[in-house]
């Protein structure tokens, strides 16, 4: 029975960026008139490097008031775009390609629709300028195959 040889004592780290951008809706959304913003939550590589060689799929758990709140994205871009009216926590579960042997990684992101208060005191936020909130993380694969 062939055994898989792991590279003992070797660790490989891969950087990722996760978070959201948001812009105000120009016109009220038909049917969901209380929605004020369109936003996109995403998991990406640095400089948009392709991460599909080690990421198999990404599950985004939205607030339960969204239809099908569990959004599973099986190929890049690993992102979900929606409209809404408020900020809430999104659970991100990154599933790796089986070869890496890594168990899934769970991350948490607080959706941001509005600029920080201090940004708007000094100078008002331009209406259509996206508000962004991203975090950087490094995934460490110990003793990769």
CB closer to ligand V91 out of 66 and 141: 66
Task: List residues near ligand V91 by CB under 6 A.
Answer: 32, 35, 63, 65-66, 84-88
Q: What secondary structure does DSSP assign to the chain, as a single string?
A: -PPPPP-TT-EEEEEEEEEEEEEE-SSPBTTBTT--EEEEEEEEEGGG---TTTEEEEEEE--TTSSS-EEEE-SSSEEEEEEESS--EEEEEEEEPGGG-PPPEEEEEE---S--HHHHHHSPPPTTSPEEEEEEEEEEEES--
CB closer to ligand V91 out of 53 and 85: 85
Nearest residue to 20 (alpha-carbon basis) of 104, 86, 66: 86
Q: Please, what is the minimum distance in Å from the beta carbon of residue 86 to ligand V91?
A: 2
Q: Please, what is the minimum distance in Å from the beta carbon of residue 63 to ligand V91?
A: 4
CB closer to ligand V91 out of 32 and 50: 32
Which residue, judged by CB position, is nearest to ligand V91 in the bound state? 86
Q: Please, what is the minimum distance in Å from the beta carbon of residue 62 to ligand V91?
A: 8
CB closer to ligand V91 out of 83 and 100: 83
Q: Please, what is the minimum distance in Å from the beta carbon of residue 56 to ligand V91?
A: 28
């Amino acid at each position: 029975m062939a055994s898989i040889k792991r590279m003992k004592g070797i660790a490989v780290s891969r950087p990722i960026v996760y978070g959201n951008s948001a812009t105000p809706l120009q016109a009220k959304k038909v049917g969901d008139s209380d929605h004020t913003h369109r936003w996109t939550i995403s998991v990406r590589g640095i400089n948009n490097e392709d991460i599909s060689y080690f990421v198999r799929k990404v599950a985004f758990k939205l607030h339960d008031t969204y239809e099908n709140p569990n959004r599973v994205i099986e190929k890049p871009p690993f992102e979900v775009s929606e409209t809404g009216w408020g900020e809430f926590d999104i659970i991100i579960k990154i599933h790796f390609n089986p070869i890496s042997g890594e168990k899934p990684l769970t991350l948490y992101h607080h959706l941001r629709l509005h600029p920080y208060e201090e940004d708007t005191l000094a100078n008002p936020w331009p209406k259509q300028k996206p508000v962004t909130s991203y975090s950087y993380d490094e995934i460490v694969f110990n003793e990769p195959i």
